[in-house]
Structure formats: structure tokens, C-alpha cells
Chain A
């Protein structure tokens, strides 16, 4: 019967268990007894080195350096005064101050107290050499994140900090531990898994004096991988300098493959401040500053696009044949609807399509908007990636908002709403990255490119130059629109004359968007250089920057400096 074989197998297994018990408890019992009595197993973590973040030319944007911390273990302390006076003389503090730090931070007798962080290497070596004289003194090497370019491009890079409780809970399964640090925002967060590597450690047996007797087990730490970005450190610095006194965004993208060459959001922060204990005041300032320096306006800031939105409106009008290149509207300086006047910037007089776009005539687009209707404008806005996640490889991107005339929540959609919509005002909100994406789609004749920032992780190249979507638009329509964009920069009375350069073809569109309240207007310039050495699309956005003229001036400066560096 088959149950017999059950009995045999079970009996055999139980014999093995008893033999196993005998072996562990009797044969090896003495050894394990020793281990347990002396409580002499220590686990020493070995942290992996975090991978670097590089720019497109291999220049480090984020690096890991060794930092030396000075600690004191209370229970091993013998001559406190002597140690503290020695520490004081090496570190250059008064003995009283060291005593004060020690008193303030001391918790338990076995818990090391941090006396000084990030001590210069020479001083660390002096301390290390004298360690034998002072029991209880400890110099610990810690890896510290360093960002050589400081504020420039801080939002794209992110920063590294201790993990919050909530993240520990969420990420425990993925091998994250409480004592670890992790990337917050930007590349540091997006590619944290690859950057961080795998921590290792040693399990050692120590004797009663705390000295290592043998290694029971060891796990090798695997360093993290380097992330090479598409950013150009030079462009980042130019953009950061231009935006120093401003609030806003500069984005520069390669037209051919969607690589982000530059992305700066201002005001910025210094990510190095998150790596050192000493800069905690700065951190508090970042979190409380009402100008929100930690906020990446390039992908998270949502603003009305103003006249920049005239580009999709123009395309919608031409494509549906509701207007044609010769359609002319007369501008008297405003458009009257009921008893309300919707103003234009100037009295432009008769305007054809190219003039209307080049002069950014509101009246021209009020008329166009009324002819094509709000639903079509909504459709084209979405077609060009507004109100849609761009899915760039950075965390916490916002989607913006395109109003939905059919299901308008606040009230019934009115003609006034249509007028506002047609010049990019009202409920329409976009992010700067969406606007760059939009102009790039026009420049690329409808072949929408996927913007990206990481070009390779370790030895693995990331997908690049991917066409996200193809919008089929007749060439003559796009040529008409491009003609208008050229006229804005190069044409007589063009709104973006300030960007005109003799030796560089620039096409683009300005935007001056009303902000809420009595604040200054937002200023936009979005454009592209189709025949430069590196073909780029770019956007300059100044939050509360006043007239679009200011954005044009910044753009001109940006292009000039890039030209001087022979990037363009």
C-alpha cells in the first residue's frame, strides 16, 4: 500500500531532523554557546557608492565625495577634558563649544555623538593618527553628494536626503533601509534605483574588547550606475545666469531627437545644502520661501500661455479651411462683444494671416476663434500636447488644463470664454515643457518627438529620438504658420524683433499672459532654430515678467551666448 512509503519518508525525515538537532546542539553547541554568551556579532554596513549624474560631454553634474565626520562614543570616553581640548585645537573650535555640542547631542552612552561633520581631509588624518591616544574618538568616512554647479539645473538633478517614514514604508520591499538616503525630485528620484546601487555589509565576530576576530559573512556592495543626461553644463550655466534675478523657466531641446539640452527653473536652490547638516537653515528657507525655489516650474508650473496659443488656433483654422492665408480681418484696437470690449495690443488695421500671427493681433484671433468654435480649439490644443502629460523622465510632471467647453463646470460656456480661449487666456493652463513640445511639433511638421533627459544608464543607452505621435498636417498649412512665426521675429513690426539675429534663423512666437490678481503679466517666448548647427527648440518663460519683450531679450541673450560657444 502506498501509505507505507509515506511512513518511510516521514520517518527518514524525522531522523534527519533529530540528527540535525544533535549536530547543532551537541556537536557544535559549545561554539554557538560562545557566540551567544559574548553577544559578539556585529553587523557593519558597507554603503554602496551612488552613481554620478553626467552632462552630455561627461562633465559631472552630481558626484559623490568622501566626507569625514568626527564622533565621540560616550561609554568609551576616558579623559573627556583632554580629548575635547585636543579636538578643539585641531578643529579650531573652543573647548567650550565642543563641550556644548556634546552635551546637547548626547543621548545614550553607547550612541556615538557627532561633534563635527565634513571635516577637511588633513584634519581628519590628524585625528585618525591620534585616535589611539583617545579612546572613544571616532572618525567616520561617509559619502556625501556634491553638485559642482550648485544652483544651475538643480531642479533637473534633484537632491539626496534621508528617507522619510512614509517612503521607508512604501519602499521596504525594494531593499531600502531606514539609515539610507535616497533621491528626491529630478533625476536623483527618477533613476534612484539605478543610481543607488546595492549596499553591502560585513557580519563580524568581535571579542569582548570590540576587536574583530573573524568575518562570519560578507556581502559586497555594488556601486550605483552613472546616469548620463542630455544636458549641456554650459547651457545650464548660461541659462542660470540669465535667470538669476528672475522667476521663470528656460528650456532648450534638440529638435532632432527630443534631447533636453538645458532646463532651468528659477528661483533655484543649492542641492548641496541637503547633503550637509550645517546648511539646515538654508533648507528651512527653501521650504518656507513663498517664491517656492524647490518647485520645478519647467514641468510643474501651470500658466496661461497667452498668445503662444495662437499657433494651434491658427493651424485649426487653416486645416478646417474656415480661414485661409488670405483671410483678412480689420483690427480697430479692440473687439466688442455685447457691452464688453476685448482689447488688442495695438490698432493693427487690416491684417492677413501672416501679419495676424507675426503681429500677434488679438482681433484677428478673436475672429478666427469665433469662426472655428471652442470645441475645435480644445481638440487642437490636446492634439499638440497641451493638457496631456508629456511623460518626460522626471517625476511629478503636471498636466496643465485645457477647458472643456461642453462640460464646463463653473458656468455655461459663453462667447466671451471663446474669445479668451482663442488668445490663450481664461481657464487654459500649460506647462513650459508642453509649450516647447508644441513648437517642436510644428517645426518637425507634425512628428511629435518624445522629450527625454537620460541618454544612458551605466552602459545601457536609453531610447532616444522616439516619435511619440504623428499629426498629419498638409505641408502648405505648416509653411503658412512657419511664415507667420518667421514674421514675428524677422518681419516688420514683428512682436519678437528683439530676437532677430543676422546670422541665425529664428522662428517663434511671443506671449504676454494675464496673471490672476493685479500682478505683472507673464512673459513668453517660444521658438526654434531650424538651420543651426544643433537644431533646437526653446522656450523662455518669465513668471510675472511683464511684457513679452523681456522674454525676447533673454532669448536673444541665450541664443547669442550659445552661438558664441559654437553650440548653434
Chain B
């Protein structure tokens, strides 16, 4: 028998994957710009993924502890390799080809960083409140070392340039440090420093990244470039109204008004064709998935798995919130995918690995 927790996770996951596949089929339906191949790729991947999740859920999650630093090291190495051998797509250098298989190390970096930070904070327990938190050793070991572990890949990814993923990595750091119990004074102070450093970051950004942030603040700044996407995406979602235009009938989608609609903007297809009702069902499924993940994490006593699980749940939640938020024009367009829905093999595979880990936490519970 499946436990209730696992059942809830599986059901919401299946609804999300199926709605994603339907949206992808529609986005590529009788279309020259996005070929149907995209759909079939994702279909095959989804089936393989579900099988993989089934087995990953049975792996002992403590095994990840041993792998954490190795995975992190290989991943950083691959990010460096991208500078030397990577190739460009959509204006950014993100892909690398290994054994004829293209993949994006930056996607995997999210998981690798979570595992590495979880292990770090397991090995070096943050020194909470027993003595002055501003003492030097506490700052260095609670803070600077793990932050350096985050900053190295984040800078490499930022340079690709992929602002969204770089921001996610920094987000992971804060989430992990918070979950590990690092003093909130530290975190708050550091967050302040990061905000103060924003102007410097602004200076380093590519023109199109600046544009996107500006467009977020005012979509009318650039109605032809990034603003066009937001306006078109809002038109797509809004015109879905309550019940949607029906599957394969979204005019915004079918008439090619939506750029990037099979990847970052896939949710606008769902919004247009399935309306408020369909969108809310998908959003609620994500919410259930995340909450049940959080439940599984809460019940895990083991430090490493607990931390890693918290990181994974947080990154899931962040991606869902940012992606749907940006499609609705609530956050800047930063190029973050919607887990299990957006087309993209690397992103899908990472989601599978992460979900498998959460599932193994849920399974663990039965041993008690």
C-alpha cells in the first residue's frame, strides 16, 4: 500500500506532467516554429522519468551524502568546461555536448549545490546563539565558506549569461543556511549586503538582462522586445477567462504570438486553453506537491537528508512561483523553467532526480 503522503505526491505529479504534455502538444500543434518533435521528446522523457522516479524513490537517501561533494566538483568543472567547449543557443553559452547528448550543467548545478551545502552544514553545524554570533570563526564557517561554494558556480552561470539560474543559486544558499539554523541576524545582515551590491551587479549585466529588469518595472519601456513577451503572455492568459478557449484552440498560442511558449512561457498556453479553472488546478497541484514534500522533510530526522530535502522543496517552490509570476507579469522575466512542464531535457531530468529524493524521504518514514 502506498502511504497517503506518497499517494498525494504521485497524483499531483501525474496531473502536472499530463497537463504539461497537453500544453506542449498544443504549443507544437501544426506549427512550423516549434515542431511536434518537441512533444514526442518530452513524452518519451516523461515515461522514462516516471519509471526512474519509481526506482529513485527506493534508493536510500543517505547515499547522497557520499556523492554530494563529488557531484558538486564535477559540476563546477563542467561549468568551467563550458567556457572552453560550450556552444551558444538563444544568445547564451549554456550547452555542452557529452557523448552526443547536449546538456546544461547549470540546471544540474541547482541539485549539486543543494547536496553540497546540505553536507557542509551537516559536517559543520552552525553555532547558534551560544555565544556572540558575530565572532569571527562563526562568520567564516557558517557563512563565508558556504557562500563561496555558492558564488563560484553562480558567477560562472551568470557569465553564460543566465541571470535566472544564478539568482536561484543564491536563493538556495539563503534557504539552506536558514534551514540549517544559521543565525537570522547573520542572514539578514548578509541579505542587506547583497542588496547593497546590486548596483555593481547591474553594472555587470548584459544589455538584454538590464532591459528585462526594466521591463518588469514598466512593461511599456520596451514594447517590441521583452515587453512584447509580457504583453502577449498576459493577453494569452487573460483571454482564457474562466473556462479557457479549449485544447488546441488558443489563438495567441496557435498564431505564434507567444515567443518561447514551449519552454519558459508554457504556462501561458495552459492559462489560455484551460482558463482560470485549469490554471488553478495546476497551481494547486504544485502546491500539494510542495506541501507533501515539506511534510516528508519534516518527518526526516537525519540531518543531511533533512537539509537537502528542505533545499529541494524550496527550489521547487521558488521555480514555480517565479515562473508563473513572470508569465503573469508579477516578476521579471529571468528565464526560469516550470518544473516538469517546460520543455527541456536537462531541466526535466533534474526535476526527476529531485523528486526522486523527496519520494525516498517519504518512503523512509515507513521504517519507523
Give chain A's interface residues, CB within 8 Å of chain B: 1-3, 6-7, 10-11, 13-14, 16-18, 20-22, 24-26, 28-33, 35-37, 39, 41, 43, 45, 172-175, 201-203, 216-219
Contact = CB atoms under 8 A, between A and B. Distances in A.
A36 B251 contact: yes
A453 B142 CA distance: 57
Contact of A37 (B175, B251, B321, B325): B251
Interface stretch (B1-9, B97-105, B221-229): B221-229
A26 B238 CA distance: 7
B235 A203 contact: no
B227 A21 contact: no
B290 interface: yes
Contacts of B328: 17, 20-21, 24
Contacts of A201: 223-224
B240 interface: yes
A36 B239 contact: yes
Interface in B276-333: 276, 279-280, 283, 286-287, 290-291, 294, 297-298, 310, 313-314, 317, 321, 324-325, 328, 330
Nearest to A3: B298
B321 A43 contact: no
Interface centre among A3, A37, A216 (most CB of B within 10 A): A3
A14 to B, nearest CB: 5
- Complex A-B, nearest 10 residue pairs according to Cβ-Cβ distance, in ascending order: A32-B238, A217-B223, A203-B223, A29-B241, A36-B239, A217-B220, A25-B276, A32-B239, A33-B239, A24-B238
Given A20-B328, A21-B280, 4 more contacts: A16-B330, A21-B328, A33-B238, A41-B235
B276 A26 contact: yes
Given A13-B321, A26-B276, A218-B223, A39 B255 contact: yes
Given A21-B271, A25-B279, A35 B239 contact: yes
A217 B219 contact: yes
Contacts of A24: 234, 237-238, 271, 328
Given A14-B321, A218-B223, A173 B241 contact: no
Interface of B: 91, 175, 178-179, 181, 206-208, 219-224, 227-228, 231-232, 234-242, 251-252, 255, 271-272, 275-276, 279-280, 283, 286-287, 290-291, 294, 297-298, 310, 313-314, 317, 321, 324-325, 328, 330
Contacts of A173: 91, 206, 208
A444 to B, nearest CB: 40
A287 B291 CA distance: 68
Nearest to B276: A25
Given A25-B271, A26-B241, A217-B227, A14 B236 contact: no
Contacts of A216: 220, 223, 231
5 contacts: A21-B328, A32-B234, A36-B272, A43-B228, A173-B206
A7 B330 CA distance: 21
B297 A3 contact: yes
A32 B223 contact: no
A14 B242 contact: no
A254 to B, nearest CB: 37
B103 to A, nearest CB: 23
Contacts of A25: 237-238, 240-242, 271, 275-276, 279
A174 B91 CA distance: 10
Contacts of A203: 223-224, 227-228, 231
Contacts of B242: 25-26, 29
A10 to B, nearest CB: 5
A13 B318 CA distance: 9
A214 to B, nearest CB: 12
B252 A36 contact: yes
Contact of A21 (B175, B221, B239, B283): B283
A206 to B, nearest CB: 14
B310 A14 contact: no
A260 B241 CA distance: 66
Interface centre among B234, B251, B279 (most CB of A within 10 A): B279
Contacts of A17: 283, 321, 324-325, 328, 330
A30 B238 CA distance: 8
B241 A30 contact: yes
B250 to A, nearest CB: 9
B237 A14 contact: no
B276 A6 contact: no
Given A2-B178, A16-B330, A175-B207, A22 B228 contact: no
B326 to A, nearest CB: 11
A425 to B, nearest CB: 45
A201 B175 CA distance: 42
B241 A33 contact: yes
Contacts of A33: 238-239, 241
Interface centre among A6, A28, A31 (most CB of B within 10 A): A6
B239 A3 contact: no
A29 to B, nearest CB: 4
B238 A31 contact: yes
Contacts of A41: 231-232, 235
Contact of B236 (A1, A6, A26, A36): A36
Contact of A7 (B223, B239, B240, B291): B291
A378 to B, nearest CB: 36
Contacts of B280: 18, 21
Nearest to A32: B238
A13 B317 contact: yes
Given A17-B325, A21-B283, A24-B234, A219 B224 contact: yes
Given A29-B242, A43-B223, A219-B222, A20 B234 contact: no
B283 A36 contact: no
